[in-house]
Chain A
């Protein structure tokens, strides 16, 4: 049984996991409602703040809060099943919110965030992702992974020739990576103390 599989069994006592396989990795638990609340606020901010607060400003388009939330909880909980389900739900809600303005059919962000949640949980079960620098790097990398999945799905299903990369996306990836540092630290506060 590898660490990822042990991490899947979230119901097992953390001490047992640490003692048997990987003593440095820790499966974090969060306060009740923390995950749902965080995701909800991320979606609200993603959908409404750019439209209402930063109308017409480029900064609004650079936000990828659902991606960061999915990434954070995937890395922290280290459970691929939960990670991918969370990514799927968040992504489909994001599609739904975007769909209100006629942008996306439901499932485009869902597929991308499902993959992000699964991959983040798998990586989180193998690497120490507590260091702020590693979080920034991961956020930057996952931005492009998310973009890759999104573009592929778009091109395959919708036959839309959207660009892989441009200057705006580069700026968004940097903003997302930088934003990950304080956001992840903020979300760390929602963790449930094991002691």
Chain B
């Protein structure tokens, strides 16, 4: 280091000597505007760093402001996302309630159309965890439900009550392999038996080959099984094959068994004229008091979208135990 300084000494000395004299000159020299050259140089020398410093501070300030803004925007974004999630949840909830209200309105309309029928509205609360096709209702023995009672929707037959518990009931769907119902073709009134296959479609059996059956033909309950009232919509023919000794007819169930939410349990096995009631346009005979109160509760349920509580035992039909 010392050696380098020694070797460079003349250059350094020369630089200092020149610089000293230049500064000396700058102190003496005045510009035409009266300002000394040294002052002009000082200003010109110090202004760029000051300007650069101001520029850097501005940029840093801008960057900091941008960073703060970004943080705030991020927080706001998170809050808005949370709000959006809540709104989406709320929207789904409202959509569900609206759909439920529509379904309940349809149920109410159906109930009004069949006021003489002892129907009990029930909500599907669960499905069979096994391989079988069954659902659970929120009504049970306390509500007057018994085994082998028919379960229907405004669209058609759902199945029958298989097991009854105090507050719940298990319903075997039509599509279960062990399920079946007496059926007849709406056009020809030919009778047969609708069987579950474990698949979405039913099999209509015992229809002779000489019967004219076309896809699209409606299939109704025959009432011969003593479970399902007569003339309830069972399904629609979707495929007809000649077979030996009977036709092989596949029927699509009228009720949407994969979208069940609210159903009716037919509390009486008494037959009633389904089609006549349909034709009457919802002007049936006056219903018993208990049925009226259920209808009122159902109407209230349809309006509010709230689940109807189990009716008191006093409201049970008189023909039920």
A residues in contact (CB < 8 Å) with B: 1, 5, 8, 80-81, 84-85, 88, 91-92, 105-108, 110-111, 114-115, 118, 122, 153, 157-158
Given contacts A5-B7, A111-B18, A114-B18, contact A85 B25 (CB under 8 A): no
Q: Which residues of B contact A8 (CB under 8 A)?
A: 9-10
A84 touches B25 (CB 8 A): no
Q: Could you list which residues of chain B lie within 8 angstroms of chain A, going by C-beta atoms?
A: 7, 9-10, 13-14, 17-18, 20-22, 24-26, 28-29, 37
5 new A-B contacts, CB < 8 A, other than A85-B13, A157-B25, are A81-B10, A105-B25, A105-B29, A110-B21, A118-B14
B25 to chain A, nearest CB (A): 4
| A5-B7, A8-B9, A118-B10 as given contacts; A107 in contact with B21, CB under 8 Å | yes
Which 3 residue pairs across A and B have the least CB separation, nearest first?
A: A80-B10, A107-B25, A105-B28
- What does DSSP make chain A's interface, helix, strand, loop or mixed? helix
Partner of B22, one of A1, A81, A107, A118: A107
- Are the C-beta atoms of A107 and B28 separated by less than 8 Å? yes
**Whole-angstrom distance between the alpha carbons of A157 and B29 in the complex?**
8
Find chain B residues with CB under 8 A from A158 CB.
29
**Across the two chains, which residue of chain B brings its CB closest to A88?**
B17
A-B contact pairs, 9 of them (CB 8 A): A8-B10, A80-B14, A84-B17, A85-B13, A91-B21, A107-B25, A110-B21, A114-B21, A118-B10
- Give Cα distance in the complex from A84 to B20, angstroms: 13
User: Residues of B contacting A1 with CB < 8 Å?
Assistant: 7
Task: Establish whether residues B24 and A106, one from each chain, have CB atoms under 8 Å apart when the complex forms.
Answer: yes
In the assembled complex, the Cα of A80 lies from the Cα of B10 at a distance in Å of: 6
Chain A's nearest CB lies how many Å from the CB of B190? 121
